[in-house]
Structure 1
């Protein structure tokens, strides 16, 4: 075997620490950026950090805004609240947690302390819906050795504790399933309402064993089973529908979520939507002037290698953050430029858009656009949307025009909203209606979009 040295030329891409840092900053949200900047300022004495100035105002909406908001009412995407379009933050309401609410009630129970401890333990095992996802057998296996009792004894005590838990408010708490949750609520009502005992008993039987038939609206089968008129069946079903399916949903989940828009869009004097950066969420990061002065006065790098390194890192971070803001603004402007009609008319006017189109427009790679569109938000009259919301697949019309999938979904939703409740429209009929308007969409695509909109099929919509 002959050993020899050879020179070979080649090209390869190496991600420098600075480039890696730039990529990382580009893909995080504004809230995460604030945390990163604050942490960097703690570790680097060359940086001075000031939190975002939440008191800054980005200006009032102009005269045309109320009219635009009104036009959005029929076609805008649904929102969980009705806050103004330029609201800076959307936050979950802070209410008492389910566990705290239950613990307060448990303390007033007239049972011995060990039994209270088990009730508290079960309350801590509930999920955000207020259900108990684990079986008592599994929980008994988990705790019996710690309590120094047999598994059978632990199971017996847990059953007693669960009975106590299910007596607490809100009604239906501690159930293992939807059927049990509904039954617990009806059983509590039966204790206080003897006047409607027959209706409640029918509702209890339906909830206990026949929820699937109610979902399928199989009224004839239910009439045969219970030997009751359809009026009585429907009255019991109507009562079941008034019950709470998730008893814990109105309680705080101990997660405080904020959405801060990175940009706002507003109408200019010419009636065109333009992008404005949200300065209220920008962290202020500058170089420490005192340390900078010391380094300039004492230019002997060999004596200040550590400080010079920190200074370089600080400058790189500031530069990366500036590039991040410029890129976000460029992407937002490119999106808004192509989706002007969306902001005037809503989903029905959404144009098909892909990452490649934005990348070509601003001279960047698709992967960069992909990073920017995640966890970055835009505020408009209908609310706050993630950048990637404005990207959708392209469908064709008979006239050869490109139509976005979002626009077609909006049409499907409107067709179903306008249908006669007693005679709902099938997916095949929706396909034909779309075709009559010049949109070529397969029936399976209609079904797919309907499911994405969380709309049940025609036979389940029949009233």
Structure 2
């Protein structure tokens, strides 16, 4: 083959570092944004937060930098806005002590602090950021303090890591065997023996295969002479499905015992924990500050950004003044830092303006929800908001993720206001959120002795003009963690 030249023409989108930064800032939550800006400011001396600013030097600044001042990331009025091009849209407490302990009692703080075993002063307070151990950590701690052989220890560790958040081994023995090394060769009987030992760990009943197994283990922890224990064991092992119906008469006939004994046994069963692992859910409570507020004034809903959540980042005037006197490589480097700082400030301003626009559209579209509650929520998808603000759906997705709006009805993530629609008889549509609210209201008002089935709930919605199938009702009900009608049967 002879060498030759070929010309090829194609188009591709290239994201500049500045544009990549603008996109990244847009999708960050408030806490992440603060951390990101702190990191950027540490590497750029031309940037500083307003609270870190020092009084400017008396020397007169160069005319090029005279107009640079702290730029609030919140949107400005038309008169205040600088004529700059925004980054383009791209597809892609305080509390009072109520009582003080007497001197000498546990918790005495009269000495102004205590000393630990090393002699260091201790203020007497527990660290506020200490997290509770997870179920896996809690069980592993007990395992390490128990007398297990190395082989049984390995099996127990595999079982512990296979438990769900409620403490059940729903995947079964086979899943544990599959998780062990291929050369381990543990038979099901060996794994089952270790599992039964784990069931005695705290909380009692973890590593159970199902509800019957869990409740039986907890009942066997009671002393043999505990009142109603034997009857409760028989009910759990043979007639557990009748417990939800609370039919003590039928249970008494089946078990051939007194109805009073059955009633006592049911009370004992209800004192047990059907989800032993849930108490050790280590998911930390997340506190969020709203990015925007929605308030009603003169019959209209208005939106304003939270000023406390808008980073007040600006240019360091001292270093700006030095640029005019710098020479050579120093001047080139500092001018590059200044250019990056200015782009960052414009990106922050654009981020705040985009958030303001999107929040305003959401509040306008969902004003019925703000006025009347969840049942009045309208269907809304990303495309509708994108078309109204003139941006791409991917941009709307970024700006509504982990951004929160405070309303008189509570604080919600902006994504909460989006939901698909279900057709109604009048040709309109109802949002999935509104239908779920209706279902919750219908179930709350049902006769507790005759709960509404999914079919009955669907028919009730049909009478309200909402065409929804029974399986859709079941999906919404399960999504709201509401038991089926057979599980909701209870005494009136």
TM-score in same-fold range (> 0.5): yes
SS in 2 for 1:343: helix
Q: Tell me the equivalent position of 2:219.
A: 186
Mapped contact 2:131–2:282 kept (Cα < 8 A) = no
Asked if 1:305 is matched to 2:338, the reply is: no
Q: Tell me the equivalent position of 1:457.
A: 484
Q: Tell me the equivalent position of 1:281.
A: 309
Rounded Cα–Cα distance in structure 2 between residues aligned with 1:221 and 1:276: 62
Mapped contact 1:94–1:252 kept (Cα < 8 A) = no
CA deviation digits over 1:153-188, x for unaligned, max 9?
A: 9x9999999888766654445656544432332222
Residues 238-247 or 128-137, more deviating: 128-137
How much does 1:17 deviate?
Answer: 1.5
Residues 33-42 or 330-339, more deviating: 33-42
Mapped contact 1:202–1:236 kept (Cα < 8 A) = no
Rounded Cα–Cα distance in structure 1 between residues aligned with 2:147 and 2:457: 60
Rounded Cα–Cα distance in structure 1 between residues aligned with 2:469 and 2:193: 56
Q: Tell me the equivalent position of 1:21.
A: 21
Mapped contact 1:25–1:321 kept (Cα < 8 A) = yes
Q: Tell me the equivalent position of 1:45.
A: 45
How much does 1:396 deviate?
Answer: 3.0
Q: Tell me the equivalent position of 1:427.
A: 454
SS in 1 for 2:299: coil
CA deviation digits over 1:77-104, x for unaligned, max 9?
A: xxxxxxxxxxxxxx99965766887899
SS in 2 for 1:378: strand
Mapped contact 1:130–1:248 kept (Cα < 8 A) = yes
Gap runs ≥5 in structure 2: 53-92, 94-127
CA deviation digits over 1:166-212, x for unaligned, max 9?
A: 666544456565444323322223x1853333334335535xxx656
Work out which of the two has the higher radius of gyration on C-alpha atoms and give 1 or 2.
Answer: 2
2:290 corresponds, among 261, 264, 268, to 261
Q: Tell me the equivalent position of 2:12.
A: 12
Q: 1:458 to 1:93 in 2, by over 3 A?
A: farther
How much does 1:331 deviate?
Answer: 0.6
Rounded Cα–Cα distance in structure 2 between residues aligned with 1:138 and 1:427: 34
SS in 2 for 1:266: strand
Rounded Cα–Cα distance in structure 2 between residues aligned with 1:401 and 1:375: 30
Q: Tell me the equivalent position of 2:101.
A: none
CA deviation digits over 1:330-353, x for unaligned, max 9?
A: 111110011112112111111111
Q: Tell me the equivalent position of 2:269.
A: 240
SS in 2 for 1:297: coil
Q: 1:382 to 1:211 in 2, by over 3 A?
A: farther
Mapped contact 1:424–1:458 kept (Cα < 8 A) = yes
Rounded Cα–Cα distance in structure 2 between residues aligned with 1:388 and 1:137: 40
2:231 corresponds, among 181, 196, 199, to 199
SS in 2 for 1:379: strand
How much does 1:451 deviate?
Answer: 2.8
Mapped contact 1:396–1:440 kept (Cα < 8 A) = yes
Mapped contact 1:186–1:204 kept (Cα < 8 A) = no
Rounded Cα–Cα distance in structure 1 between residues aligned with 2:220 and 2:303: 57
How much does 1:11 deviate?
Answer: 4.3
Residues 191-200 or 374-383, more deviating: 191-200
Asked if 1:436 is matched to 2:469, the reply is: no
Rounded Cα–Cα distance in structure 1 between residues aligned with 2:139 and 2:340: 51
SS in 2 for 1:459: coil
Asked if 1:350 is matched to 2:382, the reply is: no
Mapped contact 2:49–2:312 kept (Cα < 8 A) = yes
TM-score (norm 2): 0.67
Mapped contact 1:186–1:203 kept (Cα < 8 A) = no
Gap runs ≥5 in structure 1: 57-90, 145-150
Rounded Cα–Cα distance in structure 2 between residues aligned with 1:444 and 1:248: 30
How much does 1:382 deviate?
Answer: 3.0
Q: Tell me the equivalent position of 1:148.
A: none
Asked if 1:32 is matched to 2:65, the reply is: no
Q: Tell me the equivalent position of 1:338.
A: 365
The residue correspondences of 1:351-366 to structure 2 (distance < 5 A) are 351-366=378-393
More helix by share: 1
How much does 1:424 deviate?
Answer: 2.5
Residues 123-132 or 305-314, more deviating: 123-132
SS in 2 for 1:253: coil
Mapped contact 2:158–2:176 kept (Cα < 8 A) = no
Residues 451-460 or 212-221, more deviating: 212-221
Give me the CA root mean square deviation.
Answer: 4.8
CA deviation digits over 1:202-227, x for unaligned, max 9?
A: 35535xxx656757999999778745
| Count of residue pairs brought into register by the alignment | 416
How much does 1:369 deviate?
Answer: 0.8
Q: Tell me the equivalent position of 2:429.
A: 402
